[in-house]
Structure 1
Amino acid sequence: MSSPSPARSSLVDLPSESGQERPLADAGRYFAEDITEPFVLDEDGHLPVPTGPGIGTAPLPDALRRCTRERRDLYTA
């Protein structure tokens, strides 16, 4: 089963103008590395509803660090 990227998961169940659903795409088709763990689809190919705040995933610190060009701490005391 395909593992969609969180960045594209917001488009998963939105119908298009033609009424056709958009297929999920595996992040590996577009990126060498994703910065989050892939979502796991259920047996029907649906994404689970997150139980906490946000989209249900968090960035992987090491992967995020490798693709960060600049960092600014805005909320330091």
Structure 2
Amino acid sequence: MSRTTQDQFIDDDEEETCPLCVEEFDLSDKNFRPCPCGYQICQFCYNNIKTTMNGLCPACRRPYDDKNIEWKVISPEE
């Protein structure tokens, strides 16, 4: 994960719940970062923001762009 210093909004400490819906992250959510600022939300909240709200990151207010999503593919062992 390479982000510029100014884009580092959130520490890389592992959060266990989505800050918006307060639901526990599942394995795929833990590997999903939809914004370059690093603000991590679950995929449900991301889809809700994109389809029914303004499409902006709740933290930095940048428009979500599918090409900026950081996604780690989960192996069967995980």
User: Which category describes the TM-score, using the shorter chain as reference length?
Assistant: under 0.3
The TM-score normalised by the length of structure 2 is: 0.25
TM-score (norm: length of structure 1): 0.25
Instruction: Return the structure number with greater strand share.
Output: 2
